[in-house]
Chains A and B, each alone.
Chain A
Amino acid sequence: MSDDTGRVISPSELGRLAELYLRFEGSPDPLSVACKEAKQEFDLLVERIYTEKVASNNQSISLIKFRSYARVYCRKIWAKQWPNYPCIGPERMQIADETGAVAQDDDNA
């Protein structure tokens, strides 16, 4: 099922996925509660999107594959952004805009 823009996944879902991905994949403290919660929430959101919007129309795509596609997509977003270390943290992260792109923060502009 796609939204009214014709995309399978909404911009707000994309923004949330990208934000969560940064919190666990780029976390400087992998043992922190915040890192573990972000990973858990990412996996749950991916699973929900897969179940609600992907599985029925894309039978060749398994959940495991879709999770990898989501991670690859988020990786590409952040690789372009080049986070300004050590400022990876919830308070510094940017949510994707309506197009799904993640804006540069002021320090990186």
Chain B
Amino acid sequence: MTLTADNFDLLKSVNDCQISDLKRIQFDRSNCMEFYRRVRNVEAAVIHTYQLTAHAALREDDAGKASCFWKDMVTFCDSVLVLLKELKEKYPDCGASEVYNVTLDYRVQAQNHYIENLQDSECQTIPEGLFPQVN
């Protein structure tokens, strides 16, 4: 399957559902199981979205377009972090802190890719003689 903007819209809507579910549902504080299961789903979404973003961004020969993919990943991580910050206080010891930390790590990496690709987008025309032509 070719990754396109439509695929990413679909992925975004699935991710939004995961987040809104977690926001909406009231969990039993004495039983972490259901909460933990859903938080792990959000972690899986963060990791998988990162992998798709890395793959899609690498296919772009325009660094500016690649930076847009990474910007979306940063935005997704931010929305997860806002939610998890609240939930890890509301349901301590139910696994949200760990997922918060993983998401934060992925957010840092996505932000680095975003900034580097943005810088690269201003250097798309390579001076002659430095590198051979890409055939």
Contacts and interface: CB of A to CB of B under 8 A. Distances in A.
Contact of A31 (B57, B109, B124, B129): B109
B127 A79 contact: no
A26 B55 contact: yes
A25 B55 CA distance: 9
Interface residues of B, number: 30
B60 A75 contact: yes
Nearest to A61: B127
B50 A22 contact: no
Contacts, number: 93
B6 interface: no
A27 B52 CA distance: 10
Contacts of B109: 30-31
A71 B104 CA distance: 25
Given A72-B123, A73-B126, A79-B60, A30 B131 contact: no
Interface string A53-68: 0100010010011101
23 contacts: A7-B132, A8-B129, A9-B131, A14-B131, A25-B54, A25-B57, A27-B54, A28-B55, A30-B110, A31-B106, A31-B109, A68-B120, A69-B127, A71-B63, A72-B123, A72-B126, A73-B126, A75-B120, A78-B58, A79-B58, A79-B59, A83-B55, A101-B134
Given A22-B58, A26-B54, 13 more contacts: A7-B129, A25-B58, A28-B50, A30-B106, A58-B127, A66-B130, A71-B116, A73-B126, A73-B131, A73-B134, A75-B120, A83-B55, A88-B55
Q: Across the A-B interface, give the 9 residue pairs with the lowest CB-CB distance, nearest first.
A: A79-B61, A30-B109, A68-B123, A26-B58, A28-B51, A76-B134, A100-B132, A68-B120, A85-B55
Interface of A: 7-9, 14, 22, 25-28, 30-31, 54, 58, 61, 64-66, 68-73, 75-80, 82-83, 85-86, 88, 99-101
